[in-house]
Structure 1
Amino acid sequence: MGGSDSKPQGEKEELLFNVDERERVQLIFCTISHGHKSFNKENFQHYVEPVLDHFTGSRLFEWIEGPLPGHKPHHDRRHHTHHHHSQQSTGNPIHLHHFASHLAILFKKSNVSELSSVCLFLASTSSSSVSASDLVHFVGNTLHSYEKLLSAHCTAYQSWIFSVATDQMGHKHLASSLLNPLLKTVGKLTLGPNEDAENSSTLCLSLDQVEEWLSHCHLFQNILQQVLKGALQFYSTEPHQIVFHPRLPQVRDTNWSKFRTILDFSAVLFLNAALPSDQQTQWKLVYSNALHGHSFGRFLMCITSADMPTVILIKDKTGRMFGGFAPIPWQTNPKFTGDYACFLFQLGPTFNIYKTTGYNKNFMYLNAQQQTLPNGLGMGGQFEYFGLWIDQSFDRGHSKAGERGCTTYGSPQLSEQQDFEIDSIEVWAVGRKKEGDEEDDDDDFEASAKSGKAKSLLDKVEDADKALLDLVDRGTVSDHLRDEPLVQETKAHNTVISPF
């Protein structure tokens, strides 16, 4: 009598909020209801529409409208198609106590089991199963919603100008790749990014299967939680102060007036999440053949003088994108270097990370002007059979993998053809500079850039090194090949359309 166990379930859920959070819930409720004692579906969807698509917003209302988990299950609302959903009724009015109890489940009591149940409910018109096509659609829409949130509130997002390929197709490619492990468990090898919904609509997934997948897919777990908080504006701080996880890196010292990356939002999000946490905060462009010229000598100079962990990204003539992560600085060496934090990756049309297997230590190789050894950059495998190879000619490379994949990384053939032609190469230094002399040099570079007297990476290279670079390339790496002055902010850079 009078103990906590005698309290109604909703009141016990509400007690999970502290005083500040309760005030925040009341403010959210007041905003949705326009100061009234309840709100309906129309009020709710108007509130969440800057972030959520119409179908997901509708399903979220229906989840909040229903009983708390552990009570009677939600009614199984079945509709013919998503497009007919707007013709449904405005639903039962939602009062503060009911609303707060459901938010406590979402944001204070949420675990993988609860989140999986919400995920399935939002993705489907059923509360017990979901088709593969509907789940891909939902994951893709959630990625799109996450991009909306970041574009409005994340200064790191606003530091990028992504490839024009950033659209819902990019989100769908990543969604399909994230879900492929789940689809393999039910007997279907993969769901291609361009597969028609009709071809996969008969493949149904249960709540247990969705929960098993979500328990291993931490990237989407975090994105879904961020999107739900963002849609309901359940923030404990001002939106511009939020640190989003998974995060996008802040771009440093990249001249967007002269350069356009081949990366889109989904690719950067996926790749940055695979990096060590201390290297996810900042990226800086080190080399681009579109900006610096298609020259192995310049490429070699840029990556060795960066003196930081780097991501090397290649786009071949067929449009495939792939590359590798080097956790230590590159240096010319007739022997393999690197460590077990290295990995190879693919970024389209499928997204995959291939980590080290422990089979050997052939992680990183960079050499030039050797008579008896390969000249170029390689990662994994062995001489002449690299998991990833960029030849010193700088026009071609290869990705060779046997039946079991590259021995060092377990990766398959990354490119569409074993021997590929290079279209684009980008190299990004990742993480922050360590304190010391190099940091001071970097500050000098930034100061000179702001003054309009930009230095070049060539200024960091000793005369002896320049002589070596002259020998490496087919032409010469001459002093006139210097970076344009850095543009700290451009008109395009500052053009950010907020959904709020």
Structure 2
Amino acid sequence: MGNKSSSPEIYNESLKLLSTEERLMIKKIYTEICGNNKDGFSESDLVNYGKQSVTECLLRHLFFFMKSLIQYEPGQHVNDLLVNDEEFLVSLATIFKGVALDQVLLMTYLCVGEEADSVKCSQLRELIENLLVSYIKASNKKDTALSSWQFRPPELTNNFCEAVLWDLVSKDNDKVNLVRKNFPWNSKHDTAALEQWLFQCPVLLSLFKEVFHALFPISVDNVLHNAPLVPVAKDAPWNKIRTLLDLPAVLFLNQAIPSELRSKWHFLYHTHSHGESFSTMMTKILNRGPSILVVEDTEGHIFGGFASQSWTLNSQFMGSASCFLFQLSPVMNLYQPTGYNENYMYLNQGQNTMPNGLGMGGQLEYFGLWLDSEFGKGHSKAEPRCTTYNSPQLSKHETFEIKTLEIWSVGPELVQEQPEVTPGSILDKDVEAKAMLTMLNKGPVSEGLREEDVTGDSPEDHDLPPLS
């Protein structure tokens, strides 16, 4: 498709894209929208049909998009106030089966209500906000994933819009500059830039598909249901915790992790539910598969990291290039591995000779993100940049205090295997690390002095009263 064609040409082309079942579903939906009018449906008919699922603004702009696709021959009698059956079929074929240029045309109409050579960033922000609202309207009553969450109020919507639009407005060498006080909302972007941006922005395409599939429920093979937008939240004690995440934040993070992990998030740990204990946190996260940890510091910054494999006690770094760090507030952004080193994940406890705590990126004592085993303390020593993830300082200050910490495992649930815990040092298991530290004169002070049992001070879950 991609270009306007005459009525018979584009109609026949659209028919080829649709299965017999899809054509029958389109005819059924068309009849439902039209009601008693056999000639077609009006703008108000479309609004009345879809207002329970989609914002009125999107529906009105969608009507004009439907009227724009067919170039009629001179003398053909067409009612400009009604969408007929051919126009409707061509519209749905374009929405669900069209090429990238078709998606750009749809986007421009949804932004401004007409075909345009360029679109302002502020208009794209309004479109993203309308898609988010429509997704909630369409999914709330029947989507088990959305109903499984009790999100915080949507305070991060503007951050989400900026994050989605950042690839459009920034050059590659500008992406490290995250001071977005003067975000270029008035900048204009032509169809070529929009097409390239859409290719780099799967979360927006997924929003499009989900919203329009809810509005027009036809069976379409390429609708992106295999990698859901929102995961099902499992085992979360909502009467005891307030998540740090709103819907835009979950959309943002879930689209960033591998697709096979996106269907379910399993609640592991929250300071409101389990108390402020590093040992308790460890018992909840060890050997539970890939996970996302989210930190809020006492200055209101929200940030965290994705661990691509289970957390295990180890004196060496672990993980893979699928790991990343992120910020959610005051800005929203992902920081992917640079390839400079493989210092993705680190977890240790109870050692005199190694850092004790949980870290991601950087190097020992200078982590991109560090949570100290003395619970409540952390640092983000990333000036000018974390070598592993190219992330900036995530917290407001280099060292920070934790206000809230929550952790989710992602993907299929793993049965937690109890880690092998002995009264000895972790260095007893890691002979290489022990030998290296001895060579550096940093070995154990005495083989006779042993560290405390790693889980000896682990309390049970705190029986805290419900949140008011």
Q: Which TM class, normalised by the smaller chain length?
A: 0.7 to 0.9
- For residue 259 of structure 1, report the CA deviation from its aligned partner: 2.4
One-letter amino acid matched to 1:371: N
Q: 1:247 aligns with which of 229, 246, 249?
A: 229
- Assess if the C-alpha contact under 8 Å between 1:180 and 1:191 holds in 2: no
Higher helix residue share: 1
Aligned to 2:111: 123
Task: Evaluate the alpha carbon distance shift between residue 424 and residue 250 of structure 1 in structure 2; reply closer, same or farther with a 3 A threshold.
Answer: same
CA distance in 2, matches of 1:186, 1:428: 32
Percent identity over the alignment is: 32
One-letter amino acid matched to 2:231: P
Aligned to 2:10: 9
Q: Does residue 399 of structure 1 match 2:387?
A: no
State the SS of the aligned residue for 1:8: helix
- For residue 466 of structure 1, report the CA deviation from its aligned partner: 13
Task: Evaluate the alpha carbon distance shift between residue 179 and residue 236 of structure 1 in structure 2; reply closer, same or farther with a 3 A threshold.
Answer: closer
State the SS of the aligned residue for 2:350: coil
State the SS of the aligned residue for 2:140: helix
After superposition, where does 1:174-213 map in structure 2 within 5 Å? 174-185=160-171, 200-201=185-186, 203-213=187-197
Q: Does residue 99 of structure 1 match 2:88?
A: yes
CA distance in 1, matches of 2:304, 2:178: 23
One-letter amino acid matched to 2:48: H
Aligned to 1:290: 272
Q: Unaligned regions of 5+ residues in structure 2, if any? A: 1-5, 426-449
CA distance in 2, matches of 1:6, 1:344: 51
Q: 1:322 aligns with which of 297, 303, 318?
A: 303
CA distance in 2, matches of 1:353, 1:71: 50
State the SS of the aligned residue for 1:373: coil
Aligned to 1:214: 198
- Assess if the C-alpha contact under 8 Å between 1:368 and 1:392 holds in 2: yes
CA distance in 1, matches of 2:178, 2:81: 38
Aligned to 2:145: 156
- For residue 418 of structure 1, report the CA deviation from its aligned partner: 1.6
Counting matched residue pairs gives: 429
Task: Evaluate the alpha carbon distance shift between residue 293 and residue 411 of structure 1 in structure 2; reply closer, same or farther with a 3 A threshold.
Answer: same
After superposition, where does 1:353-364 map in structure 2 within 5 Å? 353-364=334-345
State the SS of the aligned residue for 1:371: coil
Q: 2:60 aligns with which of 46, 58, 62?
A: 58
- For residue 244 of structure 1, report the CA deviation from its aligned partner: 6.6
Task: Evaluate the alpha carbon distance shift between residue 231 and residue 415 of structure 1 in structure 2; reply closer, same or farther with a 3 A threshold.
Answer: same
CA distance in 2, matches of 1:61, 1:339: 47
Q: Does residue 173 of structure 1 match 2:155?
A: no
One-letter amino acid matched to 1:329: S
State the SS of the aligned residue for 2:119: strand
Task: Evaluate the alpha carbon distance shift between residue 288 and residue 228 of structure 1 in structure 2; reply closer, same or farther with a 3 A threshold.
Answer: same
1:64-87 CA-to-partner distances (Å, cap 9, x unmatched) read: 022337999xxxxxxxxxxxxxxx
Q: Unaligned regions of 5+ residues in structure 1, if any? A: 73-89, 442-459, 488-500
CA distance in 2, matches of 1:195, 1:45: 36
State the SS of the aligned residue for 1:287: strand
One-letter amino acid matched to 2:96: F
- Assess if the C-alpha contact under 8 Å between 2:64 and 2:109 holds in 1: no
After superposition, where does 1:81-480 map in structure 2 within 5 Å? 92-108=81-97, 110-126=98-114, 127-163=116-152, 165-166=153-154, 169-185=155-171, 200-201=185-186, 203-235=187-219, 243=225, 245-304=227-286, 306-403=287-384, 405-433=385-413, 438=415, 476-478=457-459
- Assess if the C-alpha contact under 8 Å between 2:273 and 2:461 holds in 1: no
One-letter amino acid matched to 2:402: I
One-letter amino acid matched to 1:363: Y
Give the alignment's Cα RMSD to 1 decimal. Answer: 3.5
- Assess if the C-alpha contact under 8 Å between 2:240 and 2:272 holds in 1: no
State the SS of the aligned residue for 2:255: helix
Q: Which moved more, 1:187-196 or 1:98-107?
A: 187-196
State the SS of the aligned residue for 2:309: coil
- For residue 236 of structure 1, report the CA deviation from its aligned partner: 5.8
CA distance in 1, matches of 2:351, 2:7: 80
CA distance in 2, matches of 1:186, 1:384: 30
- For residue 328 of structure 1, report the CA deviation from its aligned partner: 1.6
CA distance in 1, matches of 2:317, 2:371: 15
CA distance in 2, matches of 1:186, 1:276: 23
One-letter amino acid matched to 1:20: E
One-letter amino acid matched to 1:153: K
Task: Evaluate the alpha carbon distance shift between residue 71 and residue 102 of structure 1 in structure 2; reply closer, same or farther with a 3 A threshold.
Answer: farther
TM-score normalised over the length of structure 2: 0.82
- For residue 483 of structure 1, report the CA deviation from its aligned partner: 6.5
- For residue 424 of structure 1, report the CA deviation from its aligned partner: 0.5
CA distance in 1, matches of 2:174, 2:55: 28
